[in-house]
Amino acid sequence: MSHDPSSSNPDPKKPFGARVSGAANDVGDFWTRVTNGLAIDQLWRQFRSEASEGYGLYSREVDWGAMPQKKGIKRFFRSAWALFQVMLMKLSPARRILMLLAVGLFFFPVIAIFLPHAKGESPENFFEFSAIALFILLALELADRVIMKRDLEIAREIQRWLVPHTPPAIPGVDIAFATRPANTVAGDYYDAFERPAAPGSSEPGPLLLVVADVAGKSVPAALLMATFQASLHTLAAAHGPLDELVRALNRYACAHSLDGLRFTTAFFAELDASHRSLTYVGAGHNAPVLRRADGRIERLTEGGPPLGIVSPNLPTGYDCTTIAVAPGDALIIFTDGVVEARDHTESEYGETRMTSCIQSVGHSDAASILQQMMSDVDRFVGATRQHDDVTCLVLKLNA
């Protein structure tokens, strides 16, 4: 019988070592695409983070207090059964049956030990059928996820239209901003635009800066963020003082807050570049940092409660504060996702680290300050999954 060299060498012109190297490169490229280039330890930390988040999602729906107080293996099985029921009820009725079938087939070989008429059955067959059922279930759930992901991608594009891509061109003013949603869409909002000038005035209108954080995350928060943006631009189109603008936004928010369940924290500031003054008011938001040209740090703390909070015990006024600003001063406005960013030990980034980072920026421009802050947060967090939206706006006054 003659030997055909092409059977073991598909391409006789290419050396065997080159073919092995090419196959290794293909495997390496595939692995890089699958892992997004993450190292094994990073993948493991990410898996642990996602597993912990998933367990928290299901365990919150278990009434642990109503469970019988068992110990040891009995408690383990009761806990597992309770979590399984919660997971099962997340599926559609048809998929619940498929899930039960898959689990039943998986455990049937163990049960069959105690069933004399089933002792002749091969356990491998049941494992195979269980794996097929689970694969079908996974494929159906993945299809749903792909459809939902596509819709969310469209929603994200729409949301991007609602925030500026480039800062307004104001002489002597340098602005940079960035946002990172925890999910595909976010509840954070930032904006910077000029308001109308006073009637009869030859000077330009003030520059309005806004950073807001709608309670919650993902789609519900994103929808509320869109209504906030529309209300803000409608109200800001008319000339008027900042406190009246914020009060009008609060009245709208209270009318659509579901009795205070849907509220928004926000910070508003108007910069009069001609007279070097900044008028601001906070609405339950994290106090922004004002870094003076000489390195001193000030916090802008004045303001009122979050927008949409309906309570007779809370003040309803939003009195503004006006301060002088000078060339070299930098204003950093951020959402709580910055200071509450967590590493793998659940430690928070915190105000102290953020302030130290801001103090070290020197005379950098707005984009460099923003980059240093975001990089510092990234180094602290590492590969831990982001749990909240992160948004930051930096304004730097130039000479």
Whether residues 187 and 318 fall in one domain: yes
Concatenated DSSP letters for 339-357?
HT-B-TT--B-HHHHHHHH
Alpha-carbon distances, residue 339 vs 77, 79, 175, 336 (angstroms): 39, 35, 21, 6
Q: Is residue 228 part of a domain?
A: yes
Q: Is residue 266 part of a domain?
A: yes
Residue 186, classed as helix, strand or coil, is: coil
Whether residues 233 and 212 fall in one domain: yes
Q: Is residue 346 part of a domain?
A: yes
> How high is the pLDDT of residue 125?
67
Structural domains of the chain, count: 3
Whether residues 206 and 250 fall in one domain: yes
Whether residues 112 and 208 fall in one domain: no
Q: Is residue 389 part of a domain?
A: yes
End position of a domain, from candidates 136, 161, 186: 161
Whether residues 186 and 294 fall in one domain: yes
Contact (Cβ atoms closer than 8 angstroms) between residue 397 and residue 326: yes
Whether residues 271 and 293 fall in one domain: yes
Whether residues 14 and 142 fall in one domain: no
Q: Is residue 64 part of a domain?
A: no
> How high is the pLDDT of residue 288?
96
Whether residues 345 and 374 fall in one domain: yes
- Give rounded-to-5 percent helix, strand, coil for the chain: 45, 15, 35
Whether residues 289 and 367 fall in one domain: yes
Residues of the chain with pLDDT under 70: 1-24, 70, 108-126, 257-261, 310-316
Q: Which domain holds residue 332?
A: 168-397
Whether residues 192 and 302 fall in one domain: yes
Lookup: tokens for 256: 């659509």
Phi, psi of 224 (to 5 degrees): -65, -35
End position of a domain, from candidates 105, 127, 161: 161
Q: Which residues contact 321 (CB under 8 A, 6 or more apart)?
A: 279, 280, 281, 300, 302
155-177 pLDDT, tens digit each: 777 777 788 889 898 888 999 99
For residue 270, what is the domain's CATH number? 3.60.40.10
Q: Is residue 319 part of a domain?
A: yes
Q: Which residues contact 233 (CB under 8 A, 6 or more apart)?
A: none
Among residues 318, 286, 322, 290, the alpha carbon closest in space to that of 304 is found at 318
Q: What is the largest CA-CA distance in the chain?
A: 102
Whether residues 113 and 177 fall in one domain: no
Q: Is residue 75 part of a domain?
A: no
Contact (Cβ atoms closer than 8 angstroms) between residue 291 and residue 358: yes
Whether residues 174 and 257 fall in one domain: yes
Q: What is the DSSP letter of 307?
A: B
Residue 317, classed as helix, strand or coil, is: coil
Q: Which residues contact 366 (CB under 8 A, 6 or more apart)?
A: 174, 175, 176, 330, 394, 395, 396
End position of a domain, from candidates 161, 178, 198: 161
Contact (Cβ atoms closer than 8 angstroms) between residue 394 and residue 271: no
Task: Kindly give the interhelix angle for 218-236 and 123-161, rounded to the nearest 10 degrees.
Answer: 0
Q: Is residue 194 part of a domain?
A: yes
362-383 pLDDT, tens digit each: 889 999 999 999 999 999 998 7
